[in-house]
Amino acid sequence: MESFKNLYEKYYRQLYAFLLKLSRDKELAEELTQQTLFKAFINIEKFEERSSFYTWICRIGKNEWLQECRHKARFTSETIQKDEVSGYNLEQEVLAKQELEHLRHELAKLPEPYQTVIVLRTYAELPFREIAKQYHKSESWAKVTYMRGKAMLKERMVKHR
């Protein structure tokens, strides 16, 4: 188990930050991080070194998150009442959460490689060079794929309102 401890110590923070950006939920991000690191550990022989190890575990983490989204309704209605003193506005918060959920829902429906390129660039903050390496393509390919994916996502967001 010493190898798992090393894997955990080396990648936990980065992976947690990535999954927190995806999920916007600290507890879920923590759970997904642990699941992802465990899956990576038990499947380490499947790592083919076509990309960096971090990129590989981010892909596992993204798939775990997508699976979680499919199995649960990610948006639950809030029961918090408007707090007049702090200026808290429940309606604005609910609308923002709905918009974010709509974005995530439409992102999950994008075809590959657009979906993964957007996730790796936006949430994992990987450089185009690293994304291109994962696909054995040029950096220009990664940039074009990202831009086309964003355009497709914008179109889906408007079309599926």
Q: Write out pLDDT tens, residues 63-83.
A: 888 888 766 644 443 333 444
Spell out the domains of the chain, with CATH numbers in brackets.
1-74 (1.10.1740.10), 91-161 (1.10.10.10)
pTM: 0.55
Q: Which tens digits make up the pLDDT trace of 83-100?
A: 444 455 555 666 677 777
pLDDT at position 145 is 95
Instruction: Kindly report the number of other CB atoms within 10 A of residue 153's CB atom.
Output: 18
Q: Give pLDDT, residue 143.
A: 95
